[in-house]
Structure formats: C-alpha cells, structure tokens
Amino acid sequence: MRGSRVNIRNAFEKVTFLAGRTPQHSLSGEGTDAFDTLSAYRDGGVFIAYYDGKSEWERHPGDELVQIIEGQTTVFLLENGEERPVSLSEGELIVVPEMVWHRFDTPNGVKVLTITPQPTEHSIQVPSF
C-alpha cells in the first residue's frame, strides 16, 4: 500500500467488531478480524482496529501515534509505576512515548488508527519495573 491512497472509512468495512476484548485475545490470537494493517511504515505499520473492552499492556521501541476515528477510549500510560489515564474521543490523538507501557479501556466501542513501531511487547499483568 505504500505510495497508494487509503480511504480510512472504507478500510473499516474490512474489519469485524470485536465485542468484549480482553487482554487474552491478543495473546491467544482471537479477534484478529477486528484488526487490519493498512500499510507498512518505517519500522512498523499503520493499523486500524474496531472493538470494545480492555486490551493487554503493550509497549513499542519507538513513539506510537494513536488516533480515534470514531467512539471513545481511555489510554492508561504506566509512568513511574502509576497508571495515568488519558481520555480520547473522536478526532483526538495521542503520541505514546517510546517504551512506555500502555493499555486501552473502551467500554462502548472505538475505531482507532495507529502508527505503531514493531516489535510490540505484550503483558497481561501490570508490568513491574
């Protein structure tokens, strides 16, 4: 897809809503139809997802851009052993700093676009320092 135009609204027609996402979904490979890769980008990619529920903890070897296309979520950043919530709504974005553990809590559904460096490290439990 690099060098090609992507219609983000149309891209979401290719994913299936994942109701009740849990941290175990990512680690077990369940719910992959709720996620899609739109394009490679630098050392990672441009991704979309459509779900509600709670994600596992994750971190990346570079900054991650998270943009809310539709709905709302709260991103929890783990800073100095404390969870800092950042609420995001449609049209808003956050840049999650490199190597900062974070997770998503989305009770009512969200369509999200991310630019995510790889590899992604995952944890079901709150990571310790």
* Tens digits of residue pLDDT in 70-95: 999 999 999 999 999 999 999 999 99
Number of structural domains in the chain: 1
Does the structure show a pLDDT above 80 at 26?
Answer: no
Domain annotation covers residue 95: yes
pLDDT confidence bin for 124, thresholds 50/70/90: confident
pTM over 0.85: yes
Per-residue 3-state assignment (H helix, E strand, C coil) for the chain: CCCCCCCHHHHHHHCCCEEEECHHHHHHCCCHHHEEEEEEECCEEEEEEEEEEECCEEECCCCEEEEEEEEEEEEEEEECCEEEEEEEECCCEEEECCCCCEEEEEEEEEEEEEEEECCCEEECCCCCC
- Could you give phi then psi for residue 23, rounded to 5 degrees? -55, -30
Q: What is the CATH number of the domain that holds 49?
A: 2.60.120.10
Domain annotation covers residue 43: yes
